[in-house]
A and B are shown apart, each in its own frame.
Chain A
Amino acid sequence: MKKLRDILVIDDEPTVTGAVAKICSAEGMTVSAAGQASEALQNLEEHDFRLMLCDIMMPELNGFQFLEALANRGIHTPVVMMTGYSTVENAVKSMTSTGAVDYIPKPFTADELLTVIQRSLRCGTLQEEAESASLTRRGAMSYIPCPQDYYSLGYVSWALMEEKGTAKIGVSDLFLKAANGIRSLELSEPGEDLLQGIPCAEATSPDGMVHNIMCPLSGRILEVNDQVQSAPSLVERDPYFRGWLYRILPSNPASDLQWLNL
């Protein structure tokens, strides 16, 4: 039986792995660091991890190849990608094609990092629970998955294409549960442009953490859900129907949708 550690951080920049290790250790988490993907794979031989943080642009094996290697070895540990703002597209791709659960744009503050880590850890736990619940057919699902016909970006947000060519955007229940619920919500205004993979709303959870909700589709906001704005709890109560956030006019649905899970 391998020893279980909390976090494995992989980045070719030692200052980044060092800082991440320092912050996580201070929160009482056990952290291993790897300077490249091959080293990380060695680490995985010795330990199991609850979560991995991985850079995308690395020498030798890059982030994508590392995710592939994980899949080949049957390792299902959730992975959070770390990347610069300039390669958001890559991050979005990594969340659909290769099973990364979330991503955090560099540079980030300690709070932002911890928010993502804790949310992702909880997300992993929730998914495990749900899996065992469905295997044993006992107990209720701990979260409601996206309904049919909903496109989802990782476990974060969803988009529903409407007949008029518009799309509704919202947050997934798993994200809300992983964030421990929301206390307040900050939304953008109608007329603003949203980009896929860039935060389109900020949700503050009761513990004071600020969660960025990444936008599943690029487009212009046509309408903001007033009910949600006045009562954010509606999102938690009915995340997929009455709790939608925006109605948008997608600017490039064809290429955006290929990166979403149906």
Chain B
Amino acid sequence: MLNSKIGLKLTFWVVLTVLMAIGIFAYFNIQSENKSLLMEVERHASQFSEHLKQDMNYDMMHADRRRIQDGIHRIGSQDSVQSIRVFNKPGEIVYSSTPEEIGNVVDMTADVCERCHVEGLPLKVLEGQDRMRIFQPDDDSPRMLGIINPIYNEETCWTAACHEHPETKPVLGMLDVTLPLTEVDRNIRRSQIAVIVLAISVILILSLIVGFMVRWWIDRPVQELLTAMKHVSGGNLAYRVKVTRDDELGMLARSFNNMTDNLAQVRLQLFQSDKLASLGRLAAGVAHEINNPLTAVLTNSSYLLKRSQGHPETSDDLQVIVSETIRCREIVKSLLDFARQTVPKKREADINKIIGRAAMVIENQLTTRSVELVMELDPEIPNVRVDANQIQQVFINLLVNASDAIGEKSGTIRITSKAISLNPTGVLQIKRALCRKRHDLIDRKVQIDGKPAISMRYRKNKETGLIHLDPMYGSNKHNLGAMPPLDTGVDLQCPDCSASLIVDGELCPKCNSPIFAFEVPMKGLVKGCLREGCNWHRWQQVDSAWDDEYVEVRVIDNGCGIPETQLPKLFEPFATTKGQKGTGLGLAVTWGIVDNHNGMISVESEVGVGTTFIIRFPVGS
């Protein structure tokens, strides 16, 4: 248990440390309290003994033994006094609060006597502490404090009328007072209990607080991460850890989420490439099976064509058979190329001519279906370097799709070509945007033109709110809500961590307003101005590296349209919208071809209105 839970381990060791610290503190506290209490008692005892001696002085002077004994007996029988005894020099008890022991001789070798009476040595004069002794007569009785007080031979003694004591004796006897320590011991015990109770409650409270904090700051987030890991390892890559904090565990959770995001993407790609791999196997199989019949067709027709030179009526037809069979061969090849993801064989070509050829191929199909094909081709478009066969395949695919979308009813397909200049404005979608602390600013719940927007929080004094920026770079269809102009001291912040998004020390080169900036991972900083009507923006890496000239071809039909839910999967292999009719490969192959030409393909569609496929090929790359 202790080994398996980090929170418990941490709590255990913190509490153990606190326990030791408080234990040591309590021990020394009790020791010093004991000492001071005892010192107080000793001082009191020594005073008491001295007073007693002074008190007895008068009766001693008058050698009134009975009065002395009475006094000692009276004082000694008080509760706060255990016993009072007076010894003479040889150790015989002369007076005692317990009269029965008068006349007894004490053992002069006892420890207390030895302090002065060391054999053969002159008598020592005892000071303060040395006159005290603390002892316990037996286990049941309380501790006792004994104090001896020597009665010295003073001038008044040897000159007293009784002539009892000669002048030569330095010490006449000893006053031994014994006081019980019952009260002191009770006080000591009381304070010990108080300290122990205090220590235990401190330890309890501390462990509760530590335990709670550990649970709140470590245990819970770790548990959350563990749960997430279990989910993710179980294959649920959509699981997200709730990120509520900015500390290391918060960062861990955030990077965990990032990791699962990436993992999900990689899995999607893997899935895609898996499909592509099976497409490749399929294509290889198809290629092998189809090659032999194609060989027969191609060899025979080309042989016939060779022999029929001079017979234009047959040679023209044979020419069509030969060239279309060669096209079949190229299709099989390009399918394999696509599966192998190789780069096409590019030559300078006129897109309009390719469109013309593609149109010719499916002309029959269109007329039988009463579909009208309108071509609006700009003769001035520049040549592009493409693999003409592959691109013809692309247009045939799109035209067949358009004709299928129109279906049985009559309709129109428009195919247009033109040269366009594209700059990044309104073309490139910002899909990730990070603040300084690497929080994602993209808010998937708010969309601008159907694309998740970039969200920021503005703050001016107590006035605050969210704004949403257009994710299409340079399109600037921002939703600024009620935000006051930036040059009035408004701060723009990350909605998650409140890190400022305003660039320090840099102003808009067009209008001198403060500008914002955020990071697009791997692609540098995007800066921009939000002042109304200014729309200045800069994205170094994109502004500088951008193909300007494109040939754009649009294939527009007024057919059934594609539901929005199917648009994202449109270019995936085997994602057909035609049910049993399609193979699900057409658009995947199309996408692969266009992508291999560094081109772009996109689709706009509305159910019931029609679909437009837009293909752009870079000029001069």
A residues lining the B interface (CB < 8 Å): 11, 13, 15-16, 18-20, 22-23, 26, 57, 84-87, 106-111, 113, 188-189, 192-193, 195
Verify B295–A22 contact, CB threshold 8 A: no
Q: Are B288 and A15 within 8 A (Cβ)? A: no
A85 touches B295 (CB 8 A): no
Q: Which of B299-307, B427-435, B494-502, B553-561 has 4 or more CB atoms under 8 Å from chain A?
A: B299-307
- Whether B336 contacts A110 by the Cβ 8 Å rule is no
Q: How far is the CA of A15 from the CA of B301 in the complex (A)?
A: 13
Are B299 and A110 closer than 8 Å at their CB atoms? yes
Point out the residues of chain B lying under 8 angstroms from A107, CB to CB.
Answer: 291-292, 294-299, 325, 329
Mask of B282-319 contacts with A, CB within 8 angstroms, 1/0: 01100110011111111110110111000000000000
Q: Which of A20, A86, A109, A188 contacts B302 (CB 8 A)?
A: A109
Inter-chain CA distance A15–B300, complex, in Å, is 9
Partner of B287, one of A84, A111, A189: A84
Contact: B300 with A57, CB < 8 Å? no
Whether B342 is near chain A, meaning CB under 8 Å from some CB there, is: yes
Chain A residue nearest to B298 (CB atoms) is A107
Expressed in whole angstroms, the Cα–Cα distance for A195 and B340 within the complex equals 11
Indicate if B343 sits at the interface (CB-CB under 8 A). Answer: yes
Asked if B345 CB lies within 8 Å of chain A CBs, one says yes
Report the separation of the CA atoms of residues A84 and B283 in the bound assembly, to the nearest whole angstrom.
Answer: 12
Residues of A within 8 A of B345 (CB): 188, 192
CA distance A16 to B294 in the complex (A): 9
Which residues of chain B have a CB within 8 Å of any CB of chain A?
283-284, 287-288, 291-300, 302-303, 305-307, 322, 325-326, 329, 332-333, 336, 342-343, 345-346, 385
Do A85 and B332 form a contact, CB below 8 Å, given A110-B306, A111-B306? yes
Closest to B285 in A: A86
Chain A contacts for B287, CB-based, 8 A: 84-86
Q: Is the CB of B295 within 8 A of A19?
A: yes
Q: State in angstroms the CA–CA spacing of A109 and B333 once bound together.
A: 16
In whole angstroms, what is the CA distance A87 to B515 when docked? 59
Given A107-B295, A192-B346, list of 19 further CB < 8 A pairs?
A11-B292, A15-B295, A16-B295, A18-B296, A19-B299, A22-B299, A23-B299, A26-B303, A57-B288, A85-B291, A85-B329, A86-B288, A87-B288, A106-B291, A107-B329, A110-B299, A111-B306, A192-B343, A192-B345
Q: Check B284 against A13 for contact (C-beta < 8 Å).
A: no
Contact A106 B303 (CB under 8 A): no
- A110 vs B343: C-alpha distance when bound (angstroms): 28
- In the assembled complex, which residues on chain B have CB atoms less than 8 Å from the CB atom of A109? 298-299, 302, 322, 326
**Shortest CB distance B291–A (Å):** 4
Decide: A106 and B300 in contact? CB cutoff 8 A: no
User: Which residues of A have CB within 8 Å of B302?
Assistant: 109-111
Measured CB to CB, the closest approach of chain A to B335, in angstroms, equals: 10
Question: Closest approach, in angstroms, between the C-beta of A133 and any C-beta of chain B?
Answer: 36
B336 CB contacts on chain A under 8 angstroms: 85-86
> Which residues of chain B come closer than 8 Å to A20, judged between CB atoms?
299
Contact A85 B333 (CB under 8 A): yes
Residue of A nearest to B348 (CB): A189
How far is B343's CA from A16's CA once the two chains are assembled, in angstroms? 31
Evaluate contact between B288 and A84: CB separation under 8 angstroms. yes
Listed A/B pairs (28) with beta-carbon separation below 8 Å: A11-B292, A13-B296, A15-B293, A15-B296, A16-B299, A18-B296, A19-B295, A22-B300, A26-B307, A57-B288, A84-B288, A85-B287, A85-B291, A85-B332, A86-B284, A86-B287, A87-B288, A107-B291, A107-B299, A108-B295, A108-B298, A109-B302, A110-B306, A111-B302, A113-B299, A189-B346, A192-B343, A193-B343
Nearest-neighbour CB distance to chain B for A105, whole angstroms, equals 8
Most central of A16, A20, A86, A188 by chain B CB within 10 Å = A86
Q: Which residue of A lies closest to B326 (CB)?
A: A109
Query: Could you say which of A13, A20, A85, A87 has the most chain B C-beta atoms within 10 Å of its C-beta?
Result: A85
The 3 closest A-B pairs by CB, nearest first: A15-B296, A19-B299, A109-B302
What's the minimum C-beta distance from B423 to chain A, rounded to whole angstroms?
24
* Closest-CB distance, B342 to chain A (whole angstroms): 6
The one of A26, A106, A189, A192 that contacts B295, using a Cβ cutoff of 8 Å: A106
A195, B342: Cβ atoms closer than 8 Å: yes
Residues in chain B near residue A23, CB distance under 8 A: 299, 303
Taking CB as reference atom, which chain A residue is nearest B332?
A85
Query: Which residues of B have CB within 8 Å of A195?
Result: 342
Closest CB of chain B to A60's CB: distance in Å? 17
Q: A84-B287, A192-B343 are in contact. Are A110 and B294 (CB under 8 A)?
A: no
Q: Which of A16, A85, A87, A188 contacts B296 (CB 8 A)?
A: A16
Report whether A86 and B283 are in contact in the complex, using a CB–CB cutoff of 8 Å: yes
Q: Could you say which residues of chain B place their CB within 8 Å of the CB of A13?
A: 292, 295-296
Contacts of A189 in B (CB 8 A): 346, 385
A15 contact set on B, CB distance < 8 A: 292-293, 295-296
CA–CA, A86 and B287, complex, Å: 7
Report the minimum CB–CB distance from A209 to chain B (whole Å).
13
CA distance A12 to B322 in the complex (A): 24
Greatest chain A CB density within 10 A among B293, B302, B336, B385 is at B302
Cβ of A219 to closest chain B Cβ, rounded Å: 11
**Chain B residues positioned under 8 Å from A111 (CB to CB):** 302, 306
Residue of B292, B294, B305 with highest tally of chain A CB at under 10 A:
B292
Task: List, in ascending order, chain B residues with CB within 8 A of A188's CB.
Answer: 345
Shortest beta-carbon distance from B385 to chain A in Å: 7
Residues in A neighbouring B295, C-beta threshold 8 A: 13, 15-16, 19, 106-108
B284 surroundings in chain A (CB, below 8 A):
86
**Min distance, Cβ A220 to any Cβ of chain B, angstroms:** 8
Residues of A within 8 A of B292 (CB): 11, 13, 15-16, 106-107
A19 to B294, CA, bound (A): 11
B333 contacts which chain A residues (CB < 8 A)? Answer: 85
